[in-house]
């Protein structure tokens, strides 16, 4: 056989194969009602499931915290993957899509928010999506274990800023008080802090002190914001940068100032006493929530206040305006 003849045969065979493919595809299109979707051949991959599926996400009881009052959990991608049913219901892409995933708990049909965080590594220099955070202590120096960088950030938008985290607190309560016009904002949230605060409030109630309304004067403080306050007494290693500290007042009469918690008819630092007593009882009952307590004289119109944190070791201090804040 001449090489010309061989080439002609190969070309003819190729054309025949392509033509057969066209005919087959055309027939499938006709069979499929002309919508152009053909049946899967053996070489095709199955479609990747991506649309939300059926079923429910099983929220473990432990997510409600020791107080039983938590209505949220902030999750890294790996943690979201480990929540039973999360990927089945929301799709695999959800573990990498920061946002709030509202779940219904069958027990009492309450809403529970699973919040997928934006990872710490998404921060570029001081900024995350145009929102200024700064640099954490461990980005600048070698730090002890509980001063490691946070794992991630909760992304706060106008749509979720009012999200309830527990009966007394919303997402917006813990934002750094700055960059009001910048959205989204970011916050580091530590479940243990809110768990402890709810236990302290329950303890106060059990001791006859009404705690319907509590104000967070300062929750999360971005490091750059905290650094600016260091000269004014904010601690450089402040727990506020790690989302596990809050400065609070109990303001049940809604006048914007700390209430007369000890009932002596005066408003002064001694009104933080009942909070200190409640914290002592809560820490004794729940050693996992041990941390710092600072009591402060009035530095502004909101009056005396208490700093509460869950740093993991006990710390106690008293300060007036001349000593500064932590």
Residues that bind Ca ion (CB under 5 A): 251, 253, 255, 257, 259-260, 262, 264, 266, 271
**Would you say 117 or 247 has its CB closer to Zn ion?**
247
> Around Cβ 252, how many Cβ atoms within 10 Å?
13
Q: Which residues contact 154 (CB under 8 A, 6 or more apart)?
A: 74, 98, 115, 117, 118, 171, 186, 187, 188, 189
Closest distance between Ca ion and the C-beta of residue 263, in Å? 7
> Around Cβ 65, how many Cβ atoms within 10 Å?
22
> Around Cβ 97, how many Cβ atoms within 10 Å?
14
Residue 124 binding target from Ca ion, Zn ion, none, CB below 5 to 8 Å by type = none
Closest distance between Zn ion and the C-beta of residue 278, in Å? 17
Residue nearest to Zn ion (CB): 307
**Would you say 86 or 136 has its CB closer to Zn ion?**
136
**Interacting span for Zn ion (CB under 5 A) from 45-53, 268-276, 306-314, 315-323:** 306-314
Angle (deg, nearest 10), helices 273-285 and 191-206: 110
Residue 307 binding target from Zn ion, Ca ion, none, CB below 5 to 8 Å by type = Zn ion
Q: How many residues bind Zn ion (CB under 5 A)?
A: 2
Rule CB under 5 A: say whether 307 interacts with Zn ion: yes
Residues linked to residue 131 through DSSP beta bridges, in sequence order:
128
Closest distance between Ca ion and the C-beta of residue 252, in Å? 7
- Both structure tokens of 35: 């919508």
Rule CB under 5 A: say whether 118 interacts with Zn ion: no
CA atoms of 299 and 107, how far apart (whole Å):
45
Would you call 326 helix, strand, or coil by DSSP?
coil
Closest distance between Ca ion and the C-beta of residue 266, in Å? 5
Closest distance between Zn ion and the C-beta of residue 79, in Å? 27
Residue 262 binding target from Ca ion, Zn ion, none, CB below 5 to 8 Å by type = Ca ion
What is the helix (H) or strand (E) element at residue 169, kind and residue range? Answer: strand 169-170
Rule CB under 5 A: say whether 247 interacts with Zn ion: yes
What is the helix (H) or strand (E) element at residue 131, kind and residue range? Answer: strand 131-132
> Under the rule (CB under 5 A), what is the footprint of Zn ion?
247, 307
């Amino acid at each position: 056989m001449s090489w010309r003849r061989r080439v002609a045969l190969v070309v003819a065979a190729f054309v025949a194969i392509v033509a057969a493919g066209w005919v087959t595809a055309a027939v499938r299109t006709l069979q499929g009602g002309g919508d152009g979707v053909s049946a899967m051949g053996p070489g095709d991959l199955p479609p990747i499931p991506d649309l939300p599926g059926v079923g429910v996400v099983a929220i473990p009881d432990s997510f409600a915290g020791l107080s039983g009052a938590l209505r949220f959990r902030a999750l890294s991608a790996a943690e979201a993957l480990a929540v039973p049913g999360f990927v089945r219901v929301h799709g695999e892409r959800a573990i990498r899509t920061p946002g709030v995933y509202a779940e219904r708990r069958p027990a009492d049909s309450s809403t529970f928010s699973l919040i997928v965080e934006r990872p710490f590594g998404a921060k570029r220099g001081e900024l995350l999506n145009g929102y200024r955070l700064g640099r954490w202590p461990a980005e600048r120096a070698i730090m002890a274990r509980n001063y490691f960088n946070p794992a991630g950030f909760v992304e706060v938008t106008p749509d979720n800023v009012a999200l309830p985290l527990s009966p007394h607190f919303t997402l917006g309560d813990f934002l750094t008080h700055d960059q009001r016009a910048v959205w989204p904002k970011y916050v580091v949230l530590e479940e243990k802090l809110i768990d402890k605060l709810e236990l302290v409030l329950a303890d106060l109630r059990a001791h006859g002190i009404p705690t319907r309304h509590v104000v967070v004067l300062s929750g999360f403080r971005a490091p750059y914001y905290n650094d600016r306050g260091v000269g004014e007494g904010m601690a450089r290693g402040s727990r506020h940068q790690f989302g596990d500290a809050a400065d609070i007042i109990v303001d049940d009469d809604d006048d914007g100032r700390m209430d007369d918690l000890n009932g002596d008819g005066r408003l002064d630092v001694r009104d933080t006493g009942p909070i200190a007593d409640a914290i002592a009882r809560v820490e004794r009952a729940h050693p996992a929530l041990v941390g710092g307590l600072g009591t402060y004289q009035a530095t502004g119109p909101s009056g005396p206040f208490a700093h509460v944190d869950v740093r993991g070791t006990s710390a106690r201090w008293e300060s007036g305006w001349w000593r500064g804040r932590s």
